[in-house]
Structure 1
Amino acid sequence: MYGNYDGLNKAPAFDLHLGVNYWTTVNISDSDTPVTVEVIAVIAGDSAQVCLVDTGSGTPFISSLDVRPLKNSLYPMANATQGLVLLSRSNLGPTDSTAIIRYPDDKHDRIWVPESKPREWVGFTTTKKVQNIHDDKFEAPSAVMQTAVMPISPTGPIELSWDAQPSAKDPAPGYICVLHISELQDLSRRSTRQFDVTINGLISLGGKGFTPEYLRSNALFNANANAYYGFHHYNVSLNATANSNFRPILNAVEVFSVVPTAGVPTATQDVSAIMTIRGKYQVKKNWMGDPCMPKNFAWNGLSCSYAGTTSPVITGLNLSSSGMSGNVSSSFAGLKKLQYLDLSRNNLTGSIPETLSQLSLLALLDLTGNRLSGSIPSGLLKRSQDGSLTLRYGNNPDLCTNGDSCQPLKNMKSSKVAVYVVVSIAAVSVIVLLLVLLICMLRRKQGTTTRNSVRPQNESGIRHSRGGNGHSSVRLNNRRFTYADLEAMTDGFRQVIGRGGFGKVYDGFLEDGTQVAVKLRSESSDQGVHEFLAEAQTLAKIHHKNLVSLIGYCKDMEYMALVYEYMSEGALHEHLRGRESRTKRLTWRQRLRIALESAQGLEYLHKGCNPPLIHRDVKTSNILLNANMEAKIADFGLLKAFNSSGDTHVSTARVVGTRGYLAPEYIVTFQLTNKSDVFSFGVVLLEIVTGQPHILNDPDPMSIIQWVQQRLACGNIESVVDTCMRGDYDVNGVWKAADIALKCTAQTPEQRPTMADVVAQLQECLDLEAARGNVNGGFYTAESGGNPSEYSGYGTDVSTDMSQSTTAFEMEHLGRALTMSTGPSTR
């Protein structure tokens, strides 16, 4: 019972799960009415977990939890694949509306609620005990069976009815109805009470002409809920047959909806290992319930494999920046299918356990930024050297990385140290001398080449030597164009298709008819040679399906230009708020796909490049769409690279980017991290959900983050969703997308997810949207979602200096409350 315990006077709604299976949605109608929900289910193991799930409509709460054991023979409709959720359990006939029957009258402590309708039924009772029949499947208590009702009309039926209660998780539920019947009158031998039982006039229970036994409890029920699948309204009717001398009789009724319980929990060995890890490190994440199931509630930082019908296994574990201390637990080796383990940026001490070498599928182990000591196990070193394992261990000052030569240095006399220093200086002198000779030879050879040959203009690579502008040389492996080439391909720079800080972007065509976009630097541009070289160098080396491809460049005297693949649908912001939004409205599925593909491009920059890259100017105008509405990140003029893969941040001399998209810590400290891009992407995702600009005038300037937070504080997602979508979306998916965006825009970078996390969660949103149009027996299961192994955003054409890794992800679901009608009523 809610009881307005929090003073908000706003009754919450939330979901319940029994283990890995959805149970029901609890919808509190008012503060003073208690709500009881019941499920009859088969528990395969020796324990069960009841999970209360926040769906964004108030904090879940519970007043009490009761567990009752039942014999296997009772309620045979509940089995390993389906459970029964109680809608109504009524004891018919008592005149006292408060006379609830439960234990000790019912040894199973079921709650039988009295119900009578004097205008429709005649109630009657007996004081004699009603016995259960042999092999009784329900064991209704005698106290319940001692009362019954008959219709007032001598020829009328007894009727019961209820409305279907569909939900997003079960849009067309099936029902099982159990009628408990016992004859309470000792009829003469020549008198007969006989009646038919139908549901919606179609299906007969108990065969033709049922006759109840005197003082013996019988039950009529449908064993298969599929027979009642898809009706909006249900009507049970008991009608006397032509051979009957008495009206039909009914003592009690139970109505259940059927829920699938076939969800398979995580593999036992993995559960044992991860529970030990949780306990050892006191992990402060939302680690409750089953680690992998249901799929959209998998533990934060875990990725799992859901192959076939076997138990899910943990394949990725991201515990970066989780405040862990102590040694590295050997329990990690219990996760036999682990492919990705990130323990970076914690306070772990001691040595790296040799048992981690036993993880044969481990593709990436990140131990960066701890206080580990000792040597790296030989098994891990060997796998790192043969390329089967990406091993990261930077910023561990006491960790020895030289294999067998990891013995601590002995105290030495000063004379010996002096000898070593002299030898080192001599060795350096020899190296310097060799380098000078090598440079001289290269220069002589280069001079000879220059005198005897001329490089063609469209060379495969070009080297810009250090000139008056002071910029170092750059070698590009793309096609080089002259300014005259640009004039020809753009028809004299006739059609402008875009503008940016670098300059205008023109429509163009190559000789073979391929359409391209030509980005020509303006003389007034703040972005000069340095930004041009940065963008050109970067795009010459990196390749990904969600990054705009560089076709060529121009460096012809003062003219500089970049030639890109053509993106016919322009920038994302035009589809959200510009002229395109008025003619081509983006559907929710298109928006999710654009968000996912953009996130994959950023994930590649952060994880797939070595060293990692930071875009620094993620915004809707820098996300371009091609003819297939596929999204690609563009504009790399502000891109910044880490000095090495082990660095935690990059310092800059000034803040660059776009107001409203900049992470707060970057503005204050001038220090960039990957989480700076995550913040900017969060703003983009909010624009995708709302259709609003990143800064609103409401009436004073306000960031879209504040605007969304203020409205979602009331729990109403519809108040922020773009009205252009006209309600055509899965609300659970929209809630989840908004939640991801707000996590991305958290004030501190440690609270933000990685782009790998974001990619995985956006895929979950797409699964929810796909499920909306894919009704499988009326029930959506986690298995209908994508496989986590498909979440990687890396393309197949990654250059050789880019390292790829399996990514771990967290999935935290934020859904909506589902409306629920009242329980079945009898009439």
Structure 2
Amino acid sequence: MEKTLSKPYKTVRYFPDGIKNCYNLNVTKGRRYLIRASFAYGNYDGRDIKPVFDVYLGPNLWVTIDFETQVNSQQTDIIHIATSNSLQICLVKTTETTPVISALELRPMGNNSYITKSGSLKGYGRYLSKSGPLLRYSSDIYDRLWNSYFKMEWTEISTALDVDNSNNYKPPKAALKTAGTPTNTRAPLTIEWSSENPDDQYYLYTHFAEIQELQANETREFNILFNGELYYGPLVPDKLKITTIKSQSPKTCDGGKCSLQLIRTNISTLPPLLNAFEVFRVIQFPQSETDGSDVVAIKSIKDTYALSRINWQGDPCVPQQLRDLSSSGLTGTIAAAIQNLTQLENLDLSNNNLTGGVPEFLNNMKSLLVINLSGNDLNGSIPQALQREGLELVVEGNPRLCLSGSCRKPSKKKVLVPIVASVVSAAIFIAVLVLSLVLRKKKSTTVEGLQLPPRTPMDTFANSPEPSFDQKSRRFTYSEVIKMTNNFQRVLGKGGFGYVYHGTVNSFEQVAVKVLSQFSTQGYKQFKAEVDLLLRVHHTNLVSLVGYCYEGDHLALIYEFLPNGNLKEHLADIQEKEVNPSLTGVFDYE
């Protein structure tokens, strides 16, 4: 049998390519299986670099294989109920080392055995024998591994007779033909183990059969205690027939120390005996498998972008580092199949070579919290519906992409930007604009496109009707203003209106945010005049209005940010240097 055990370790399969490599196994949904994986590293590659990697069962981490701290051969098994008709066992690369596997075994179990309230079972089987061989198939019809276990303070008893093992667990008959009893017949039979985590839960399965011929005056009766508390009893084992005592609910171990004791009763003339036992630790696999309809959508996306098989094996949503399509070499437009992932919360398509526009259908995916499209070559305007509160939209690194309504159609011919020839002409231009405002102001206090009542320093905007902007002006909430200015961190200027702050919209578009002081009468008048100017006059040398904020006592105007400074600084610089300036790209934010 030792040769049989060593056989799986004589070969190895290794996976130098890709992050995740999977085995797809056909199973029956709802069926209970024993799944066993064996691993060995014998320096097959001559590099003597011991691998460390993770093993996933479906979408959940099963075990971490670490040859750096453990022996060169490892084996792990689990009893698990299949949740679909396919099962993926995946080796996931977590370091620079290469994952390896020697054997993967799948055995169907009886459905009326090893029933738990939740979770799967990771454990081992033991039978009480001083030097018995390893027992597995064909001794065990389920191919469980039974190792001998014996303590110095015990005495071994055995029988050559056949022992009936007919119940839901069917341990090997060979395991039931031997048993251990305490050498001190008045002492308990004790089995102890340590729990790494005090919150770990355990299920116990103890197998008993009377294999001695008892005299008329002999009795064997005992209680079973777990961590000092009565677990079952009293028990009188049946002669040459199995009795299995199982946990009805999971057990925890106080202080990380676990103890199983068999203690004879007062009427018993013989010490307790135990033929075999199993201890399993509960493993919770909380991550559900990807929904079937989502799998279909993801396969469609895979076909659209011709993704490599290595990156798309097993459950497509795990582990964490494989959940997005970032840096995957995607080309073409954003695949329409993405909209079928209705429960998707984070869509990461960054750092690819995607072209075309940002599709409107992304707005129909109501579960989306983050859309990362940065580092592509998308073009056109971003749909207004995607510029909403509660959705983080990241689009930097797409030079041909712009906000909805802010895209300007390119001219058929290249033309030079108008340059104002001298300081005098610039001054005349500004004077004409100001004079126009004054004359119009005298005619009426009503501005086309904006209705504002007179205001005193103690008035609040909550008592005023909301201004009506043109449809190209986006409305922002005050919380969005705080976020875009990083809590008003960088001041660009200050005037009678109030402070002007530097800000960022959509993580890439720089803006200047003019916030009206709540106690500034002059600032309120400037606000009226400025909005009138921006709504009536459009010129290359005038900054454009991106949006506004009108919320309770908070009023702000958001402009495009021009990095070349304000008009005052340029006029002063021009006068000092006596050179002809270009006023393109400057504006007096104050």
Q: Same fold (TM over 0.5)?
A: yes
Do residues 324 (structure 1) and 330 (structure 2) align?
Answer: yes
**Residues of 2 paired with 1:356 and 1:180: CA distance?**
59
Q: Mapping of 1:225-264 within 5 angstroms?
A: 225-226=250-251, 228-264=252-288
Do residues 198 (structure 1) and 198 (structure 2) align?
Answer: no
SS of 2:125's equivalent?
strand
Do residues 131 (structure 1) and 160 (structure 2) align?
Answer: no
Do residues 91 (structure 1) and 115 (structure 2) align?
Answer: no
**Paired position in structure 1 for 2:453:** none
Q: Mapping of 1:675-714 within 5 angstroms?
A: none
Q: How far off is 1:221 after superposition?
A: 3.1
Do residues 39 (structure 1) and 71 (structure 2) align?
Answer: no
Q: How far off is 1:176 after superposition?
A: 2.3
CA contact (8 A) 1:177 1:222 kept: yes
1:66 to 90, 105, 128: 105
Distance verdict in 2 for CA 1:33–1:90, change over 3 Å: farther
**Residues of 2 paired with 1:799 and 1:175: CA distance?**
64
Superposition RMSD in Å: 5.2
Q: Mapping of 1:545-564 within 5 angstroms?
A: 549-550=489-490
CA contact (8 A) 2:359 2:383 kept: no
Distance verdict in 2 for CA 1:57–1:129, change over 3 Å: farther
Q: Tell me the amino acid that sits aligned with residue 40 of structure 1.
A: I
TM-superposition CA deviations, 1:132-156 (whole Å, max 9, x none): 34xx342212122122122222333
Q: Tell me the amino acid that sits aligned with residue 278 of structure 1.
A: K
**Residues of 1 paired with 2:271 and 2:339: CA distance?**
70
CA contact (8 A) 1:9 1:31 kept: no
2:144 to 110, 113, 125: 110
Q: Tell me the amino acid that sits aligned with residue 255 of structure 1.
A: V
TM-superposition CA deviations, 1:536-569 (whole Å, max 9, x none): xxxxx985585662468699xxxxxxx999xxxx
Do residues 159 (structure 1) and 190 (structure 2) align?
Answer: yes
**Residues of 2 paired with 1:194 and 1:162: CA distance?**
25
Q: Mapping of 1:38-57 within 5 angstroms?
A: 38-52=77-91
Higher relative contact order (CA 8 A, sep 6+): 1
**Residues of 1 paired with 2:57 and 2:555: CA distance?**
45
Q: How far off is 1:802 after superposition?
A: 8.9
Q: Tell me the amino acid that sits aligned with residue 204 of structure 2.
A: C
TM-superposition CA deviations, 1:652-698 (whole Å, max 9, x none): xxxxxxxxxxxxxxxxxxxxxxxxxxxxxxxxxxxxxxxxxxxxxxx
Q: Mapping of 1:638-649 within 5 angstroms?
A: none
1:269 to 274, 293, 308: 293
TM-superposition CA deviations, 1:321-370 (whole Å, max 9, x none): 53223565332121124576565664457898886675466786859855
Q: Tell me the amino acid that sits aligned with residue 252 of structure 1.
A: A
**Residues of 2 paired with 1:177 and 1:440: CA distance?**
94
**Residues of 2 paired with 1:338 and 1:92: CA distance?**
52
**Paired position in structure 2 for 1:608:** 507
**Residues of 2 paired with 1:437 and 1:272: CA distance?**
66
CA contact (8 A) 1:608 1:802 kept: no
**Residues of 2 paired with 1:385 and 1:548: CA distance?**
21
Do residues 444 (structure 1) and 481 (structure 2) align?
Answer: no
TM-superposition CA deviations, 1:724-762 (whole Å, max 9, x none): xxxxxxxxxxxxxxxxxxxxxxxxxxxxxxxxxxxxxxx
Distance verdict in 2 for CA 1:132–1:270, change over 3 Å: same
Unaligned runs of 5+ in 2: 1-39, 439-480, 513-553, 562-590
SS of 2:261's equivalent?
strand
**Paired position in structure 1 for 2:243:** 218
Distance verdict in 2 for CA 1:801–1:553, change over 3 Å: closer
Distance verdict in 2 for CA 1:11–1:158, change over 3 Å: farther
Q: How far off is 1:70 after superposition?
A: 1.4
Distance verdict in 2 for CA 1:605–1:128, change over 3 Å: farther
**Residues of 1 paired with 2:555 and 2:287: CA distance?**
38
Q: Tell me the amino acid that sits aligned with residue 146 of structure 1.
A: K
**Residues of 2 paired with 1:338 and 1:164: CA distance?**
38
**Residues of 2 paired with 1:154 and 1:230: CA distance?**
28
**Paired position in structure 2 for 1:298:** 320
**Residues of 2 paired with 1:22 and 1:173: CA distance?**
17
Distance verdict in 2 for CA 1:68–1:210, change over 3 Å: same
**Residues of 1 paired with 2:89 and 2:307: CA distance?**
21
SS of 2:122's equivalent?
strand
Q: Tell me the amino acid that sits aligned with residue 181 of structure 2.
A: M
**Residues of 2 paired with 1:92 and 1:546: CA distance?**
69
CA contact (8 A) 1:292 1:299 kept: no
Q: TM-score, normalised by structure 2?
A: 0.58
Q: How far off is 1:287 after superposition?
A: 5.5
Q: How far off is 1:131 after superposition?
A: 1.7
Distance verdict in 2 for CA 1:609–1:216, change over 3 Å: same
**Residues of 1 paired with 2:374 and 2:95: CA distance?**
36
**Paired position in structure 2 for 1:466:** none
CA contact (8 A) 2:201 2:282 kept: yes
Identity %: 27
Higher alpha-carbon Rg: 2
Q: Tell me the amino acid that sits aligned with residue 161 of structure 2.
A: K
**Paired position in structure 1 for 2:35:** none
**Residues of 2 paired with 1:34 and 1:287: CA distance?**
29
Q: Tell me the amino acid that sits aligned with residue 177 of structure 2.
A: Q
Q: How far off is 1:37 after superposition?
A: 1.0
Distance verdict in 2 for CA 1:365–1:3, change over 3 Å: closer
SS of 1:216's equivalent?
coil
**Paired position in structure 2 for 1:748:** none
Give the paired residue count: 423
Q: Tell me the amino acid that sits aligned with residue 184 of structure 1.
A: I
CA contact (8 A) 1:161 1:234 kept: yes
Q: Tell me the amino acid that sits aligned with residue 248 of structure 2.
A: A
Q: How far off is 1:213 after superposition?
A: 0.5
SS of 2:190's equivalent?
strand
Q: Tell me the amino acid that sits aligned with residue 172 of structure 1.
A: D
TM-superposition CA deviations, 1:213-241 (whole Å, max 9, x none): 01111122333224x24332222222222
Higher strand proportion (structure 1 or 2): 2
TM-superposition CA deviations, 1:168-193 (whole Å, max 9, x none): xxx53122222211111232444211
**Residues of 1 paired with 2:270 and 2:560: CA distance?**
85
CA contact (8 A) 1:24 1:85 kept: no
**Residues of 2 paired with 1:19 and 1:113: CA distance?**
29
Q: Mapping of 1:319-468 within 5 angstroms?
A: 319=326, 321-326=327-332, 328-338=334-344, 341=347, 343=349, 346-348=352-354, 359=365, 366=373, 369-370=376-377, 383=385, 442-444=430-432, 446=434
Distance verdict in 2 for CA 1:218–1:279, change over 3 Å: farther
Q: How far off is 1:61 after superposition?
A: 3.3
Distance verdict in 2 for CA 1:552–1:352, change over 3 Å: closer
Q: Tell me the amino acid that sits aligned with residue 84 of structure 1.
A: L
Unaligned runs of 5+ in 1: 303-317, 407-419, 451-540, 556-562, 566-600, 614-795, 804-827
**Residues of 2 paired with 1:382 and 1:449: CA distance?**
32
2:173 to 142, 146, 149: 142
TM-superposition CA deviations, 1:448-498 (whole Å, max 9, x none): 999xxxxxxxxxxxxxxxxxxxxxxxxxxxxxxxxxxxxxxxxxxxxxxxx
**Residues of 2 paired with 1:215 and 1:15: CA distance?**
44
CA contact (8 A) 2:484 2:504 kept: no
CA contact (8 A) 1:366 1:391 kept: yes
Higher helix proportion (structure 1 or 2): 1
Q: How far off is 1:35 after superposition?
A: 1.6
